A and B are shown apart, each in its own frame.
Chain A
Amino acid sequence: MLIADRYKLVGPTAGGGMGDITQCVDTHLDRRVVLKSLQPGVEHGRLLDEQRALTQLRSKHVVQLFDIVELPNNGQKALVLEYIDGADLAFAGYQADRKFVHILWQIACGLRDVHAANVIHRDLKPNNIRIDTEGVVKIFDFGLARSVGLDNKTRSIIGTPVFMAPELWGETTISFSTAIDVYAFGVTAIALLSGTMPPALLARPPLPVARSNVEEILEGLPTDLVTQLARCLEIDPSNRPKMADVAAILERHLLYQRHRAIAVINSEAKTLDTTSKNIVMKVGPDKSMTIQYNGDDFLVSEVQGAVFINNSGATVGKIIPGCCVITFGIHGEQRTFVTFDIANPEVMA
């Protein structure tokens, strides 16, 4: 059977919870695509608007929509989406290492992008995230979760238990925000590392989770990252961070110990990095400054006399901006200038 004169059914047809998923071949381009029929209970207008918004966004981490068709058997609408060759993220399939942080960073970047377009995923979980053969994280099933009618008692239920934010467990239809994705992101981080969920997260509705529980599962990650991920699990949505902030802190950790600064003194370049962390600069008998690399930033660790960074007085603890001129001496006297430029490898998906 050909759908819309071009899509040929192949492979097993899986009846997913959120939409019937069908593997097809697009006969025009001889490539695999995925057909998802829209389920009753999903507001079609809203969903199609969101899908178009995502298409315009062209995020690296969002699955591409190619077409919208009507199914011949029941006249239902279906999305034709790009098929991602790769594997879904595995529950408890990761360790708290750099690879894990890189995956979390990519998910966070994807959610940051879609939240900027005012789209809420509604059903983020490891089996809605796939890594393609190039190592790029792709998030799918945006907005496919139905908003109402899962059962009579919990009219407002959206998404998948455990990944559902506490505010979604109410008795009445409620309003919700991008913070439900932030919560699901936090649970996803836990689920990727551990086969055992903290009991507080399994409660319905979920309860505040003890910091020690989170720490235990995220052991090996830096403290500030653990704090940020724990904040994603806050009961009050307004206490959860924005995805952009989560992405930024993850990127910071991916760059830990990978910066390089070049200081040019009297036309001679000196390199600072993780193997050479300090530079001591002395000018005359009364002026000096030491800059130290702590893995994240380059900081003034010692300063004596009149020393300025981009014309502002240098003080101990000050973080050097990306590029600057360090001036030894004051206007009117013989001054020495040092340029200091910081760069790092570009973190890419």
Chain B
Amino acid sequence: MILGQTVSGRYQVGEHIGRGGMQDVYRARDLLLQIDVALKTPQPGQATRRFKQSAILAARVNHYNVAKTYDYIEENGAVYLVEEFVPGETLEAKIARYHILDPYLGALVLHHLAKGVAASHHAGVVHRDLKPSNVMTEPGINIRALKVTDFGIATLTNDLFEEAANDGNLTLSTSGTIRGALPFMAPEMMFRQPGEHPGKPADIWSIGAMMFRLLAGDYPFGVYLEAAVNVKNRERKEWPKFMTRKPQFNLLSLELQEVVDKCLSYDPADRPTADQLVSLCGSLCYSTAERIECKLQNMIQGGYSGLLTSKRGKLFFSMKSVYGLKSPNESENTSVSVSRYPGTPYDRAHPVLVIAPKP
């Protein structure tokens, strides 16, 4: 596609913003409604015939936590799907800075994911490729809402997985999409036999695997073929100790681990439904206070606490509020994400998470 080209007399093509395994994604301007949209088109060589069916399926889902399907166009032999453009970044990009999410952010992500997936399951749509790079959230260090994307190619994903399974062993596929999906893929999807059609519980497993990655900072079964081997042998990684070591975080961490453990049940029948997941999340207590990015100024009280600088003055923090594998110190780990609470002479920061410095 050409920059500035207009599709359907309405969508002016902007920059190329992403390439999935099967489609190219452009940012485009809807000249009629004067909003930005995501314009998706199958990659050359991809079958376009199923693209429409996929779009129709996705268009049935209508929920705030799912990127909306706006339009579908066939023009000059090409096909286009127009989806809600979510300004911001994916959870994958978020995790590149955060490394891990504290239980408050984790609970929020789980709750919103569950809501979006429940709505799509009600509409009879299974995503099949839920992973952090398919979840959009706002730019910066806050996560206050999120939207699942790429329901629009759920049918194509299904075709791809089915084809690979029919060709023999899905887990040995060289397809980039399949390899990228493996760390989050349910066992019944990995080892499906011809004629089997894994459904909604596969999405619940993916939510569980994704949450493990976000909370533990690691893939529950590793990546690529290693993931398939470990899933087959039922050798999941243990929850890391840092999640429960500090009493301020212990309770919510344990509650989250319990929910994620249920999602990662090897037998699909043992997993909660999306509705049950929503209800479990509805009772989790977590803070949704705004996060701000701070720099460590210096440690005080013999390293027991420290002072941070922010755009709105200094903040005090106790090492007890530091969550995760890394702790701030004066030589490294000086960028942190915190919430601010009133105090004298300095506001108090809690929780404190070391994040990667701004790239």
Contacts and interface: CB of A to CB of B under 8 A. Distances in A.
Interface stretch (A11-19, A58-66, A143-151, A237-245): A58-66
Interface in B276-329: 282-289, 318, 320-321
Contacts of A118: none
A311 B346 CA distance: 9
B115 interface: yes
B55 interface: yes
Interface string B6-39: 0000000000000000000000000011110000
A343 B282 contact: no
Contact of A337 (B34, B122, B287, B318): B318
B348 interface: yes
Contact of B342 (A29, A269, A321): A321
A139 B321 CA distance: 42
Interface stretch (A183-191, A200-208, A260-268, A289-297): A260-268
A310 interface: yes
B287 A323 contact: yes
Interface residues of B, number: 51
B86 to A, nearest CB: 9
Interface stretch (B88-96, B195-203, B243-251, B258-266): B243-251
A133 to B, nearest CB: 7
A52 interface: yes
A136 B64 contact: yes
B56 A325 contact: no
Interface string B59-77: 1101110001111110000
Interface residues of A, number: 48
A30 B56 contact: yes
Nearest to A344: B285
B165 interface: no
B68 A64 contact: yes
B115 A29 contact: no
Nearest to A59: B64
B146 to A, nearest CB: 12
B287 A343 contact: yes
Contacts, number: 122
A345 B341 contact: no
Interface string B119-136: 100100000000000000
B111 interface: yes
A322 B321 contact: no
Nearest to A66: B70
A132 interface: yes
A342 B280 CA distance: 19
A345 B56 contact: no
Given A310-B341, A312-B344, A345-B283, A271 B32 contact: no
Contacts of B344: 310-312
A227 interface: no
Interface in A296-349: 310-312, 321-325, 337, 339, 341-346, 348-349
A132 to B, nearest CB: 7
B343 interface: yes
Nearest to A85: B62
B343 A311 contact: yes
Given A324-B341, A325-B348, A343 B285 contact: yes
A1 B209 CA distance: 49
Contacts of A267: 247
Interface of B is mostly: mixed
Contacts of B345: 311
A271 B342 CA distance: 22
Nearest to B250: A269
Contact of B248 (A65, A269, A344, A345): A269
A348 B348 contact: no
A310 B343 contact: yes
Contacts of B248: 262, 264, 269, 339, 341
B111 A348 contact: yes
Contacts of B224: none
Interface string A37-70: 0000000000000011001101010001111100
Contacts of A52: 33-35
Nearest to B283: A345
A308 B342 CA distance: 13
A100 to B, nearest CB: 18
B219 interface: no
Contacts of A211: none
A255 B116 CA distance: 22
A259 B285 contact: yes
B104 interface: yes
B32 A68 contact: yes
B55 A322 contact: no
A98 interface: no
B33 A310 contact: no
B352 to A, nearest CB: 11
Given A82-B62, A136-B64, A339 B72 contact: no
B339 interface: yes
A60 to B, nearest CB: 4
5 contacts: A136-B64, A262-B251, A311-B345, A339-B320, A346-B111
Given A28-B72, A344-B285, 11 more contacts: A52-B33, A64-B68, A134-B122, A136-B63, A321-B341, A322-B339, A323-B287, A324-B348, A325-B343, A342-B287, A345-B284
Interface of A: 28-31, 51-52, 55-56, 58, 60, 64-68, 82, 84, 132-134, 136, 258-260, 262, 264, 267-269, 271, 310-312, 321-325, 337, 339, 341-346, 348-349
Smallest CB-CB A-B distances: 9 pairs? A310-B343, A343-B285, A269-B247, A260-B285, A29-B59, A311-B344, A60-B64, A323-B350, A264-B247
